[in-house]
Amino acid sequence: MFQWLKKYFIPHEGNDHQPHILRIQSIVVFFSVVLFLEVIFLVQALFITTGASYFSAILPRAVTSLTNVQRSEVREMPLVQSTILAEAARLKAEDMATNGYFAHMSPQGKTPWYWFQKVGYHFRYAGENLAVNFVDSGDVVNAWMASVDHRDNILNADFTEIGVGVAKGVYEGRQALFVAQLFGTPLSAEIANGKETVVALNTPNIPSQAQVSEGGAEVKGASGVTENIPPVVASTSKSPFFMEEIFASPHSMNIFLYLVLGTIVLLGLVLTVFVKIKIQHPPLIAHAALLLIVLGSFLVLNQYLSLAHAQIF
């Protein structure tokens, strides 16, 4: 192994002070790999994410998993995946996709908590995050975390359950994937803890004694205890398989692979220049510089393609 590393990375007499990692044969291989990865990313980001049912199926699991990662970093309990909340989230996403809007309030005046009521989810606390035109589950969660209101929802200690739904549709004249992330704490859990009443939030001019935060990302509150509340069905949150994580995060994986390739080339360049500083081979330096420029250009391009039309609400 050492001899192989020396041959490919360390300039010495045995390789004529020209490490093989920067020779034209290796550079051609690097360029071929980069072009292959770029084509894979473009196909997945521009076509598969908005058209494949499989992507729609795995994205909710990936978003849920990443959300719980964020909560674990601040020592909050992980959210349990609720099948009822997932259904409510799916209905909300499909409503946006069908009617071509992107907002907490629908054009027909349906509020965020309408979808909780529609599936029979009686809540003590509830919240909603929305996203559209993302091609990567990591980018979705990162965008929410960069917004104060959405971050508060993700890290809210009052929430115990989560449901994520996606739907394909058209938004602003282009194919889009709508994502709805719903949070909740079921009212039945409060009763189970021996609480006979639920304190309502004092919010004027808001129907159903509910409150929407100023940023529009959060919905809280419900008053009164009803009899015979239907049980809220929850299931243990399943982490996505490794291949599912890759498929649901094409942009994140693309960045990772390009950074690995760039690090290898940069390491070869630094060793080539500084190990034998009096013996330089300009073609090798040019090969490395060109490849690093291509990698950097693709990173910038892919960042733009991934987030140019992305929005959260």
Q: How far is CA 61 from CA 37, 41, 141, 248, 256, in A?
A: 25, 21, 12, 9, 21
Q: Can you give the residue ranges of every domain in the chain?
A: 1-52+249-308, 60-190
DSSP H or E segment with residue 128 = strand 123-132
Measured distance CA(259)–CA(264) in Å, rounded: 9
Quote the pLDDT of residue 13. 84
CA distance 132 to 144: 12
Residue 216: which of 114, 105, 139, 116 has the closest Cα? 105
What is the helix (H) or strand (E) element at residue 171, kind and residue range? Answer: strand 161-171
CB 210 within 8 A of CB 113: yes
The DSSP result for 235-304, as a single string, is: EPPPPPPHHHHHHH-HHHHHHHHHHHHHHHHHHHHHHHHHTTTTS--HHHHHHHHHHHHHHHHHHHHHHH
133: left (phi over 0), alpha (psi -120 to 50) or beta: left
Please say whether the beta carbons of 115 and 25 come within 8 A: no
**Beta bridge partners of residue 182, listed in sequence order:** 128, 163
User: What DSSP string describes 7-69?
Assistant: HHHS--GGGTT--GGGSHHHHHHHHHHHHHHHHHHHHIIIIIHHH-HHHHHHHHHHHHHHHHH
Amino acid at 186: P
User: CA 167, CA 115: separation in Å to the nearest integer?
Assistant: 15
As a whole number of Å, the end-to-end CA separation of the chain is 52
CA distance 281 to 109: 69
Residue 188 phi, psi dihedral angles, 5° rounding? -65, -30
> Beta-carbon neighbour count of residue 156 at 10 Å?
18
* CATH class entry, domain 60-190: alpha beta
**pLDDT at residue 137 in the model:** 87
List average pLDDT for each run of 10 residues in the chain, which is 313 residues long. Answer: 85 86 92 93 72 64 92 95 94 94 92 92 92 88 93 94 92 88 80 39 28 31 30 44 67 91 94 86 92 94 83 76
Please choose, from the candidates 243, 247, 292, the residue with its C-alpha nearest in 3D space to the C-alpha of residue 265.
292
Residue 176 confidence (pLDDT): 86
